[in-house]
Amino acid sequence: MDKILNPLDFAELASDPSNPASGYIKVYAKGGNIYSLLTGGQKILLSSPYIALTFIFDEGGTVLTTGMKGGFYVPFGYQITQYTMASIDPLTISGSIVVDIWTDTYANFPPTVADTITASAKPTISSGTKTQGTVGTWSVDQAAGRWIYFNIDSVTAFKKVCLTLTCQKT
C-alpha cells in the first residue's frame, strides 16, 4: 500500500535512530526539524525553520554606487539571526561597503531611511571580500507582509555583492 491513511505524530528524539532495514526509510523529528534516514545511514533534512533572504547588488559590471538598490516583499513573519555579505565578482580582490536595511508595511510602501532596522550595526566589509555577523542591536522581529529594501551607504571597488540574511520563520 502506497498511502498514508492517517496523519502522523512525530515524537521528538534525543538522538538519531538506528538505520532502517533494507528497502525502508525512517522519518523522525529531532531538534525541531523533520528528517528521513535511509538504509545506508544517509540523513536528509526534510524541514527547517530557517530561510535565507538574499539580495544581490549588481550594476552591470561597473563599480557599485551609493543609494537605494531595491528590495522585495516578504509575505511571512521572520526573525533575522545573522547576515553574510561577500563580493561575488571573481575579479574583485578587495573593497569596502556599508549597507543599510529598511523595512516597512505593505501600506507604507516604499520603506525609507526612517525605517532602518540595523541601528548603528550595519553590514560592513572594510578592505576585504566578505563579512558575517550577528544582529544584536537590530530590529530583528519582522511581521508578515513587510517590504525589505537595501541601501548602499558607501562603497569602493566592488562590482557585485551578495547580502544574505539568515532568518527563522515566525
For every residue of 110-131, which 3-state class applies, written as one string? CCCHHHECCCCCCCEEEEECEE
pLDDT band, residue 98 (cuts 50/70/90): very high
Write down the pTM of the prediction.
0.79
DSSP string for residues in 16-52: PPPPPPTT--EEEEETTEEEEE-TTS-EEE---SEEE
pLDDT exceeds cutoff 90 at 50: no
Instruction: Give the residue, 73 or 33, on which the prediction is more confident.
Output: 73
pLDDT band, residue 5 (cuts 50/70/90): low
Q: What is the mean pLDDT of residues 33-60?
A: 90
3-state helix, strand, coil in the chain (%, to 5): 0, 50, 50
Cell for 26? 525512517
Residue count (the chain): 170
CA–CA gap between residue 80 and residue 121 (Å, rounded)? 14
Give Cα 125 to chain centroid, integer Å.
Answer: 18
Tell me what the pLDDT averaged over the chain comes to. 92
Note the pLDDT of residue 2.
64
- CB atoms < 10 A from the CB of 9, how many? 6
Note the pLDDT of residue 103.
97
